[in-house]
Amino acid sequence: MLLDGKVAIVTGAGSGIGRASALRFAAEGARVVAADVRGPKADETVAMIEQHGGVAVPCAADVADAADTERMIATAVDAFGGLDALFNNAGTIRPGTAVKLPPEDWDLVMAVNVRSVFLGAKYAVPVMADRGGGAIVSTASVSGLAGDPASVVYSASKAAVINLT
């Protein structure tokens, strides 16, 4: 198996791309921390991984929160002895032009889509370095390359993700 013996965290693992990725990481032999702000959804993903013979633990975490992100990384270390891969997949979108978008929507999208990538790297890189290295992958979007005026904050956040990663 491609990832036998490796430890991976997938954020936004409660549904969609995150869930599919967590399942694939496990199918390739990785031990997985399925992280999601919706704890019961993370539990569902772990149950699916275990049904297929994989090894995983759930982690209810708001990846825009420093303490939650640090705890998420610690979950990998406590459960599996380290961390080899972090997939920053959690994300959100709030449509709106620069004129119509409420400032609180800007703050939310930038926190979930960008701050989370920064925090993930901040806490994951030292742990990965202790194991000799690792990999961080972050979900971006073509919207980060060519802005969408109807979804200005999403486009700005994905441009930031591309550059930060």
| Residue from 154, 156, 160, 161 carrying the catalytic annotation | 154
Identify residue 39 by its one-letter amino acid code: G
Distance CA 139, CA 142 (A): 10
Tokens, residue 54 = 């994989």
Tokens, residue 19 = 């869930």
DSSP line for 41-98: HHHHHHHHHHHTT-EEEEEE--TTSHHHHHHHHHHHHHHHSS-SEEEE-------B-T
Active site residue 123: no
Q: Which residues of 73-106 are buried (b: 16+ CB within 10 A; e: fewer)?
A: bebbeeebeebbbbbbbbbbbbebeeeebeeebb
Distance CA 61, CA 69 (A): 7
Query: Catalytic residue positions?
Result: 154
